[in-house]
Homo-oligomer: A and B are copies of this chain.
Amino acid sequence: MDTVTELGKKAKAAATVLGLANTGQKNRALEAIALALESNAAKILEANAEDLDKAAENGVPEAMRDRLMLNRERIGDIAQAVREVARLGDPVGRIIGGHTAPNGMTITKQTVPLGVVAMIYESRPNVTVDGAVLCLKSGNACILRGGKEAIHSNLALAAIMRGAIEKEGLPPDCIQLIEDTSRESASALMKLDDYVNLLFPRGGKGLIRSVLENSTVPVIETGAGNCHIYVDNEADLTMAVNILHNAKTSRPSVCNAVETLLVHEEIAADFLPAAALALAPSNVELRCCPRSLRILSDSGISAVPAHDSDWDEEYDDLILAVKTVSGIDEAIAHIGRYSTKNSEAIVTSNLEKAERFCAGVDSAAVYVNVSTRFTDGGEFGLGAEIGISTQKLHARGPMGLEHLTSYKYLVRGNGQVR
């Protein structure tokens, strides 16, 4: 088994070759991966069964085992997703600027791959394929460090992908999977700044914090989502109920689901009972500030008191924190204090307040009369999505293929000196 440093060296060498591959070569490799995944489905399912057996032995809860589980249909979906990446435009080699200088030399700004992209993740085996193919399409070698629960599935998937791209003449070392799933291998990866250009932590707060504290490789934070909806006193309350219901219940486990409702005090007595009624069929638990709690209990609706910690909470579950506020300024201040800067919405019919919210809320996506659930690479027109950045450097919000590139300046002349 190679050390993590050896994997890094190999990935860097492979990235140099891959970076020069043209779009056709990369797309043929992607098609080959899709086909190989389908034709090796039995092998993948066998490896996956090992992971599932171990999970059952270890008493892993069923919901988590379902996330781990592959079947022929899911493998087909994964292969289909690979083909869709093949159909996206090549983000490398685009001319994104340039000019001719007064001395006659031309300056051309052109996109290039980042080089080597690493990912530490805890999630489903499909992330192994997603990560690898998005990196491949953008000309980057990748180093994947998945969780131990999925290691057999991940090893099988990586071996199949490596074999497929090798047959198409690209270096298999473009796709590296770290077999060692210990904490030490993750730590070693975080220190690999000689070979790795970008590290994505994909997982819980603990993982992200650990990567931030220890990584000497540039990191992009992704996936946190304590999102807010503020319902103004000048809102269309029916629209507000619809948006809230959609943002909370359509997919509560994702990062663009709403976690905290802020409601203007003047309409709280009208809005809160209507909202509670709409959320009741989905069994959404309401954790309320004292004023909100009083309004709901006056209407005979059950809710629980919120603790201070609830404003910080990303439930990813059918739970909603509820707070009555004095108006838009308190709402913006609350969001400024507690938001993870992913997605926030205002519901209002007042133009001035809508614009104040847009300017005053410092989040990747700010919505006016729209559900927060749209923060997504597909919805925003980026094609595939490798994550949702909650930081401001390099990329913000949904990240697509273009965010896996950098650029260089090419300066051509005939002897210019300065």
Interface residues of A (CB under 8 A from B): 16, 19-20, 99, 101, 105, 107, 112, 114-115, 193, 197-198, 212-213, 216, 218-220, 236, 239, 242-243, 245-247, 250, 336, 354, 358-360, 362-371, 373-375, 379-381, 391-394, 396-397, 406-418
Contact = CB atoms under 8 A, between A and B. Distances in A.
Given A409-B364, A411-B366, A336 B16 contact: yes
A360 B20 contact: yes
Given A393-B218, A408-B396, A370 B416 contact: yes
B197 A393 contact: yes
B374 A411 contact: yes
A418 B246 CA distance: 7
A16 B360 CA distance: 8
Given A19-B362, A112-B392, A366-B411, 9 more contacts: A107-B381, A198-B392, A218-B218, A218-B219, A246-B418, A250-B417, A368-B413, A369-B416, A374-B411
Contacts of A216: 212-213
Contact of A415 (B16, B363, B370, B418): B370
A317 B168 CA distance: 48
B368 A412 contact: yes
8 contacts: A114-B392, A245-B417, A246-B417, A366-B410, A374-B418, A393-B394, A393-B406, A396-B406
A308 to B, nearest CB: 18
A392 B336 contact: no
A216 to B, nearest CB: 5
Nearest to A219: B218
A101 B412 contact: no
A101 B212 CA distance: 35
A355 to B, nearest CB: 9
Contacts of A336: 16
A393 B114 contact: yes
Contacts of A212: 193, 216
Contact of A362 (B107, B112, B362, B373): B112
